[in-house]
A and B are shown apart, each in its own frame.
Chain A
Amino acid sequence: MRKVNQKAWFFVLPVLILVAFNALVPMMTVVNYSVQETFGNNQFFWHGLGWFQDILRSERFHAALGRQFLFTFLILIIEVPLGVIIALSMPRKGFWVPVCLVTMALPMLIPWNVVGAMWNIFTLPDIGLLGYFMNHVLGIDYNMTRSPLAAWVTIITMDVWHWTSLVVLLCYAGLVSIPDAYYQAAKIDGASNWAVFRYIQLPKMKQVLTIAVLLRFMDSFNIYTEPFVLTGGGPGNSTTLLSIDLVKIALGQFDLGPAAAMSLIYFAITLFVSWLFYTLMTRHDVK
């Protein structure tokens, strides 16, 4: 057996300590909170797994979870194909490459809360560009503070605007890594555009698409700031996604126990779906 020098692992140590303090310690604290009740003053009373039972059976949680899955499903089904299409239609060489790349990267440079605020102003019915256009030019009753449908359309559009670029950039990176020889071979064989996409481009993009889908799943499943700034979960509870509901319970009602239980359930769902995606999308590579 070849002897491998494992000392390089010590370089990982700083990031391990960092992760311990910003993820592991809070996580353990959440586990502790989830089985106890507190009335503040740092005093805790044992409650067992009762909070988990309450949350798992609560209508409010089911509703928020349903909205969350709907949101994530909708943005994935829009952003991934759209991102692939945009990446395919971008130039591979020449002057327009940096122009396209920078334009694509721009939305991702904007902080989440600013995106929320921008879209809030953009869609205001009387002064916002989109809101005014919809209401006063097209005559469509569009008011995201009043109609749940308009609110949903707005948060989906906002997320697509903000994050499709991520899928585009990742797919583009996958596309430019394909050697020209593949395309030449396809041309000689007289392959159609679809065949080129299906048998050359898509397999080459698979790795990056896996990463893109995983990142978009996790980010959208944990999304908080943008919808919070844009709609605040309203109108009513129609856009109260899981994280918004969680913050309402934890900080609004100061129910630390139920909030901790809910965040652990939330975490288990994210973990499972991410694991499933990753396993399903990489299992054929191993063989």
Chain B
Amino acid sequence: MRLLTFLLTLMPLAATAQTAGWGNLGQTEDKGFSWTAPLWPSFWMAWTPATLLVFIGIFTAMGILTVLEIRRPGGDERQGVLGLTTTRGDRLFITLLGTSYIFMAWLGLIGMPLWWPLAISIGWGVFCFWKV
């Protein structure tokens, strides 16, 4: 009986502890901004800052191309070293497609640290806009 009263007196204490943060034990702490954490947790598209940045990058590139096209129409068409007649848009497309293949090849054949394919991709992009 005495034990029971003791336990009963503990109950509000336990409730207070729960609200004070003991109930969060074992859960990850909020560390502030993270590139890889869900951006809007309840939204179905599952955005993360990292993936959002990728798309912002692509759309920015397309926006820049649009501005360039308005300023200097004609798409800066030329025949490059691959024998293809390309415009600025084609070169961006070839850059992005090539980049995805460089990364896939590296992932499939070699593996994880992806700094080398990143460097190769940047080189490929420079090559595309310069020569192709």
Contact = CB atoms under 8 A, between A and B. Distances in A.
B24 interface: no
A29 B45 contact: yes
B12 interface: no
Interface residues of B, number: 29
A28 to B, nearest CB: 6
A42 B43 CA distance: 8
Interface stretch (A52-60, A137-145, A247-255): A52-60
Contacts of A57: 108
Interface in A248-287: 265, 268, 271-272, 275, 279, 283, 286
Nearest to B82: A279
A240 interface: no
Nearest to B93: A275
B107 interface: yes
A35 interface: yes
Contacts of A283: 83-85
A33 B43 CA distance: 13
A46 interface: yes
B104 to A, nearest CB: 6
Interface in B33-81: 36-38, 41-42, 44-48, 50-51, 54-55, 73
A238 interface: no
Contacts of B84: 279, 283
A36 B85 contact: no
A214 B73 CA distance: 29
Nearest to B109: A56
Nearest to A52: B107
- Chain A contact residues: over half helix, strand or loop, or mixed? helix
A52 B46 contact: no
B51 A35 contact: yes
Given A49-B114, A279-B84, A286-B85, A268 B48 contact: no
Given A44-B38, A283-B83, A283-B85, A56 B108 contact: yes
User: Which of A25, A28, A275, A286 counts the most B-chain CB atoms under 10 A from its CB?
Assistant: A28
B45 A25 contact: yes
B111 to A, nearest CB: 7
B112 interface: yes
Nearest to A28: B55
Nearest to B36: A46
A31 interface: yes
Given A49-B114, A57-B108, A283-B85, A32 B100 contact: no
B72 to A, nearest CB: 11
Contacts of B93: 275
Interface of B: 36-38, 41-42, 44-48, 50-51, 54-55, 73, 83-85, 93, 97, 100-101, 103-104, 107-108, 111-112, 114
20 contacts: A28-B45, A29-B46, A31-B55, A32-B47, A32-B51, A35-B50, A36-B46, A36-B48, A42-B46, A43-B41, A44-B48, A46-B36, A52-B104, A53-B108, A56-B104, A56-B107, A268-B97, A268-B100, A268-B104, A275-B97
- Which 5 pairs between the two chains have the least Cβ-Cβ distance? A56-B108, A46-B36, A32-B46, A53-B107, A44-B46
Interface of A: 1, 25, 28-29, 31-33, 35-36, 38, 42-44, 46, 48-49, 52-53, 56-57, 265, 268, 271-272, 275, 279, 283, 286
